[in-house]
Amino acid sequence: MKILVITEQRDGKWNKVSFETLAAAQQIVREAGGGLSAAVVGKQIDALAAELSGYQLDEVHFIQHDLLEKYTPDGYTIALRRLIEQTKPDLVLLPHTYQVRDFAPKLAASLQKGMIGDCIGHRYEGGKLTFVRQMFQGRTNADVVFLGDAPWVASFQAGAYRADLAAKRTSGNAPVSPFAVDLQPSQIRTKPLELFREAKQAVDLTQAPILVSVGRGIKAPENIALAEKLAKAIGGELCASRPICDEGWLPMDRQIGSSGQTVAPKLYLALGISGAIQHVVGMKGSRTIAAINKDQNAPIFEVADFGVVGDLFEIVPALIEELEKPH
Amino acid sequence: MKIGVCVKQVPAKDAPLTVADGGAWIREADIGFEMNEPDAYALEEALRLKEKHNGEVVAISMGPERAKQAIKEALAKGADRAIHIADAEFFKLDPLSSARSIAAAIKNENFDLILTGLQSDDQGFGQTGVLLAELLDRPHATIIMQIDVAEGRMKLKRELEAGWFQWVELPLPAVLSIQSGINKPRYATLKGIMAAKKKEIATVERASLGVPDAPTQRVERIYVPQKTKKTEFITGQPKEIAAKLVEKLRHEARVIS
């Protein structure tokens, strides 16, 4: 199987999930045989291409163009479609980043192909490659296979593979092959403007040793005070899953998950959080996870060390009382 | 402005899910369905754009007969009319076939703007908007948190990862995938619910659209994932649970003082 990994960089800095995908691709090549190349796209990316060529792969495709300096879905799709048409990989793998969500389905469709996105793993058994992805917000997994002819396009979720397992070459470097693309400004319909962050973050949740996190189960904004009281009693900071911040019950800078902050505290106490994948990727590295949820099948229990199936409005007041007892 | 907005009906959030015979989908009998939450944000954004710039909002939904419930909700909230692409087994479609079907059903509508939610809470492919843009040859942008329209162009706020955002400009017509939280979706009023009864729902059978039956992928089975971590469940009355949990966090895990 001939695999092409499309890496991601912005302003000369890697999106590190790229190396998780590289590790996944190396593993598939070890299992299924074949070859591996990787592409780096942008402008002034010589150093990145050189770094990539130190990894165990056969070739680095170096796609540099003024019009690829800033990401646009049109520019990336045109450039990468040409690369795929010319180098004819069987499988194209990408890290499932916000940028990849923005262009990879289009890239696949421009080749009349489909994409299996947001995979959490793969299996190679008896010559058959199966991708595993989550459905129903993480409540089920699904085994998915490609139909029809190559090339096939798939993306892997952040955290699905370990970047530190991406193998480097023991000696020498892989060849870096410049790949020329003909791009005209008229082909690019999006005009990318400046990047910015909202107001400086007031709390750095990544530094808090204890986090009390609230989800939909908290039901109403007036109940946030209860979680706040628990956070105070246990000596932690308050945070939340996305829906709570979408509702404006807590500010956006308190959000944990793929679109918020990624944390790994000593203790993560999840109150009424179901554990959708978008949330779990932001907290699964916590040392100890305790979860209170009324649904015993909630996916949060997949990652919890301690679980309580029950009504948080009964259990949290009891917890506060217990924590406030002298000991 | 003529705006099309894609709304999908998905199992209700608290619906108990069991795998159906055959293993590739869930048992649909006895569970409730609702409008996909990310799509509710897209619908709200469409309604607000219409209120600001005039025009028409057309709700588009593919699914079995039950999908009409989500369509009626969209009409009650203020969509002007709807297109129902009927297919009893649409859950079997891969993302590309779904998008090809929607594109075929709406190609003569010539929408100025097509909005979708970011992803569906059931299959979660998150590809429909991007694919519609490619199939209809429109520019697109995803994960949108703000839309400003002026003189045939849009200035958009895109969410990136880790707290970053980016402004991008796009010409109309275009396709946008809306990020959840961009607005606060309205509730349907009684007046809206009554008015919806007179609004048009055009039903088109998916099979009549001439979309080739050429799936690119197949879901072989769905299943509850095996646990990788051993969870210790703590049971009892609330007070007992609290005492046991605090004891464990303090003396076993040693993560609180």
Res B252 pLDDT > 80: yes
The pLDDT assigned to A199 comes to: 63
Q: Which residue in B133, B142, B171 is closest to A101 by CB distance?
A: B142
Residue A125: the pLDDT is 95
pLDDT value at residue A177 = 97
> pLDDT of A83-125, one tens digit each?
999 999 999 999 999 999 999 999 999 999 999 999 999 999 9
Residue A6's pLDDT is: 98
Question: Please, which pLDDT band fits residue A200 given cuts at 50, 70 and 90?
Answer: low
A129 Cβ under 8 Å from any chain B Cβ: no
pLDDT in tens, B170-223: 999 999 999 998 999 999 999 999 999 999 999 999 999 999 989 999 999 999
pTM for this prediction: 0.87
User: In this predicted model, what pLDDT tens digit does every residue of B71-117 receive, in sequence order?
Assistant: 999 999 999 999 999 999 999 999 999 999 999 999 999 999 999 99
Per-residue model confidence (pLDDT) at position A166: 95
B255/A140 touch (CB, cutoff 8 Å), yes or no: no
Q: Chain B 101-140, CB below 8 Å of chain A: which residues? A: 121-127, 130-131, 133-135, 139-140
Question: Does residue B140 contact residue A76 with C-beta atoms inside 8 Å?
Answer: no
H/E run at residue A128: strand A128-135
Subunit contact B181:A242, Cβ cutoff 8 A: yes
Q: Is B218 on the interface with A (CB under 8 A)?
A: yes
Q: Which of chain A's residues have a Cβ under 8 Å away from the Cβ of B126?
A: 101, 117-118
Binary contact (A73, B130; C-beta < 8 A): yes
How do residues A242-257 score in pLDDT, each as one tens digit? 999 988 899 888 999 8
Q: What is the DSSP string of A204-262?
A: -GGG-SEEEEE-GGG-SGGGHHHHHHHHHHHT-EEEE-HHHHHTTSS-GGGBBSTTSB-
Q: How many CB pairs (< 8 A) connect A and B?
A: 250
Closest approach of A58 to chain B, Cα-based (Å): 28
Of the residues B18, B217, B248, B254, the best mutation for testing chain A's interface (the one with the most A CB atoms within 10 Å of its CB) is: B217
Average pLDDT for chain A:
94
Per-residue pLDDT, A51: 97
- pLDDT band of A285, cuts 50, 70, 90: confident
Residue A301 and residue B131: Cβ atoms within 8 Å? Answer: no
What is the arithmetic mean of pLDDT over A150-177? 93
**B73 against B230, higher pLDDT:** B73
Q: Quick check: B159 and A98 CB within 8 A?
A: yes
| pLDDT score recorded for residue A202 | 61
Please list every residue in chain B whose beta carbon sits closer than 8 Å to the beta carbon of residue A102. 130, 140-143
Strand partners, B113: B3, B174
HEC secondary structure over chain B: CEEEEECCEEECCCCCCCECCCCCCECCCCCCEEECHHHHHHHHHHHHHHHHHCCEEEEEEEECHHHHHHHHHHHHHCCCEEEEEECCCHHHCCHHHHHHHHHHHHHHHCCCEEEEECCCCCCCCCCHHHHHHHHCCCCEEEEEEEEEEECCEEEEEEECCCCEEEEEEEECCEEEEECCCCCCCCCCCHHHHHHHCCCCEEEEEHHHHCCCCCCCEEEEEEECCCCCCCCEECCCCHHHHHHHHHHHHHHHCCCCC
Comparing CB atoms, the residue among A142, A258, A301 nearest residue B219 is A142
